[in-house]
Structure formats: structure tokens, C-alpha cells
Amino acid sequence: MRGEERRQRAMLMILEPGDRVPKEHPLRRVKELADAALTELSPLFDEMYSAIGRPSIPPERLLKASLLMALYTVRSERLFCEQLDYSLLPTRRTRRSSKTRRSFACSSGFISVI
């Protein structure tokens, strides 16, 4: 059974997660292109998934995550989740390395895509 997209509003946050991604960030354009392609594929996904059974993770969400993994050269889903967990930690006012800034941009972009 094909899962449905359930969006959770920001909990205990004043900002939407997508608001943390700069307006000119390239991931915003990638999201638009991915959404357009996945909208065209939606009828195919409906045919592939059964109408009965336990709901799955929506294929759109999995494909978007795979796209981000490819764009940010993350080797595995486990590392991707670790990177997201690390990047979503509360930001501190300390100096961060460029790798940390890229990781944070990845997680912010991932949140806006999902």
C-alpha cells in the first residue's frame, strides 16, 4: 500500500523548516524539478502499489532522499541519517568548519524537500 505524505507543522518552532534555506539556494530549483517529475510519475506509482496492506513510505520521499544523497555524495542511507541528525543539532555560536556548514545546508535542504 502506497504511503501518504503527512506534513507536520513546526512544533515548538516559530519558523518553518524551509525558511532556513536561503531563497537563492540551488536546492530550491532542484526541488521544483523533482516535484514536477514525481507528479508525472504519480499515476505509475499508484499502479505499482497495492490498495490494501500496510502503508509504505511514499516513493516520492524515498526518491528525493536518494537524490540528495547523490548530490551530496553520501555513501549510505545510514550515513545520510547520521549527517541529518548531526546537522539538526541546535546551532551554537561557535566557529564551524566549512564541512559542518555544508552538512547543515544539506539537512536544511532535505527538510524543505521533504
Domain ranges of the chain: 26-88+97-113
Q: Residue 111 to residues 1, 31, 54: CA-CA distances in angstroms?
A: 24, 11, 25
Q: What is the pLDDT of residue 90?
A: 62
Q: What is the pLDDT of residue 4?
A: 72
- CA–CA gap between residue 20 and residue 65 (Å, rounded): 18
* Cell, residue 10: 513546526
Q: What is the pLDDT of residue 25?
A: 87
| pLDDT means over runs of 10, the chain (114 residues) | 66 64 87 94 90 88 91 90 75 48 48 50
CB 23 within 8 A of CB 48: no
Q: What is the pLDDT of residue 103?
A: 47
